[in-house]
Amino acid sequence: MQNKIKIYGVLEEDAYKQIVMCAEKGDYGVLCADHHIGYSMPIGGAVAYRDYISPSGVGFDIACGNKAVMTDLSSDDIEIKKVMDEIVRQIGFGLGRPNPKPIDHPVLEKIAKTDLKYIRKMHPLAQEQLGTVGSGNHYVDLFKDENGRLWVGVHFGSRGFGHKTAMGFLALARNMNFEDKPKDANNMFSLPTLLKVNSELGQDYIHAMNLAGEYAYAGRDAVVKKVLEILGAKSVFEVHNHHNFAWQEKHFGETYWVIRKGCTPAFPEQLSFIGSTMADESVIVQGIDSKESRESLYSTVHGAGRVMSRMKAAGRMKWKRGKRGEHYPVRISGGLINFKEVRKMMASKNIELRGGGADESPDCYKRLDDVLKYHKDTLKILHRLKPIGVAMAGEDVYDPYKD
């Protein structure tokens, strides 16, 4: 199967160039239907390597993922405006945002006691950000399903701890210090960073990646727990999955390290929560066994797929640091999206929006149903979740002028 590439959806040429480049030392590549260009490896891509692990393939937000919880409440049981206000009051959103009420978790002790000195040094950062959400397309949402049942859904990863871990290993792979920033770290077409799995550095990365994975899961668990407390609800069913990671798996009778970036594992019977845009339905899916699913490396989309860059949508921004440790955007020039109109559209759909920005407008993305149709022979949809409340980083959420 060497160097074969399976493509789903409408091909984006730059993403294809990236997956070809990444698969050069691998055996098999996949582009899911939500694919688009990413750093070094395309988002929505997967590559199977026999002997390599790839920090650039996993990316900067190690173990970014989704958790969805069906509650014991109906969507009619809550005052959505009050609940959304409490969510953004009690949960930290934003780049670099520390948790005003630090929490504890066993993964923090693992980070503090790891043999990797440069990972141990990040323990204070990991501790202060655990249970916060971050920026970009990361969110805390409330949904109602086809039966009116209330769901909680979150999407975020390993925060600053994961980002610094990724950047550090990109530096170490270039014979630099862990704290250094490689010159090509912002070059989208950087060659893939590949580490021999059995090398000391490769094994160190696998250990650090798994720590970041545990940390990401702990963060999502903590945020969902807090939302359930705000709701006064109980969880009756949960789905938890991630999509920026490396797994050792068997495919085509061989054992591989499969690198997935923005790409959800979808093995037979496996459940996944796949988010959509802030205005559209998300889904709970289950993988099925088929020729198509085997050829996809049992992979599927992680979202709708971006079609407009953040700068094109929102214009040029610069970041300032607020008094609570968060960073907030200040606009330099305008973009194509009028976010006031987006807010009006959200209100017309009876969706309570907190935060967000032009760069997360639905017009920046494909439609989730449009990309899922290309994967119809690899999964089945179990639930459709309609958004009723959306909370993301944004000027009215991590406003530095209020507490």
pLDDT over 60 (residue 15): yes
Number of H helices, E strands in the chain: 12, 19
pLDDT single digits (tens) 247-282 = 999 999 999 999 999 999 999 999 999 999 999 999
Report the C-alpha gap between 279 and 365 in whole angstroms: 11
Range(s) of the domain holding residue 73 = 4-392
- The predicted pLDDT at position 399 comes to 39
- The predicted pLDDT at position 3 comes to 56
CATH number at residue 279: 3.90.1860.10
State how many domains the chain has.
Answer: 1
pLDDT over 70 (residue 326): no
Q: At what angle do helices 200-231 and 159-172 cross, to 10 degrees?
A: 170
Average pLDDT of the residues of the chain: 94
Whether 402 is in a domain gets the answer no
pLDDT single digits (tens) 36-65 = 999 999 999 999 999 999 999 999 999 999
pLDDT single digits (tens) 188-208 = 999 999 999 999 999 999 999
Q: What tokens appear for 338 in the block?
A: 């009028």
- Under a CB-based contact definition with an 8 Å cutoff, are residues 83 and 316 in contact? no
pLDDT over 90 (residue 330): no
C-alpha closest to that of 374 among 27, 28, 30 = 30
Q: What tokens appear for 67 in the block?
A: 């958790």
Whether 218 is in a domain gets the answer yes
**Which parts of 116-243 fold into alpha helices (H)?**
117-120, 123-129, 159-172, 200-231
pLDDT band at 325 (very low <50, low <70, confident <90, very high): low
Whether 400 is in a domain gets the answer no
Q: At what angle do helices 106-113 and 200-231 cross, to 10 degrees?
A: 160
This prediction has a pTM of 0.94
Whether 81 is in a domain gets the answer yes
- The predicted pLDDT at position 103 comes to 93
- The predicted pLDDT at position 300 comes to 98
pLDDT band at 314 (very low <50, low <70, confident <90, very high): confident
Whether 399 is in a domain gets the answer no
∠ CA 307-311-313, nearest 5°, is 55
* Buried b / exposed e along 195-207 (16+ C-beta atoms within 10 A): bebeeeebebbbe
pLDDT single digits (tens) 348-393 = 999 999 999 999 999 999 999 999 999 999 999 999 999 999 999 9
CA dist 389 to 22, 23, 83, 344, Å? 38, 40, 9, 14
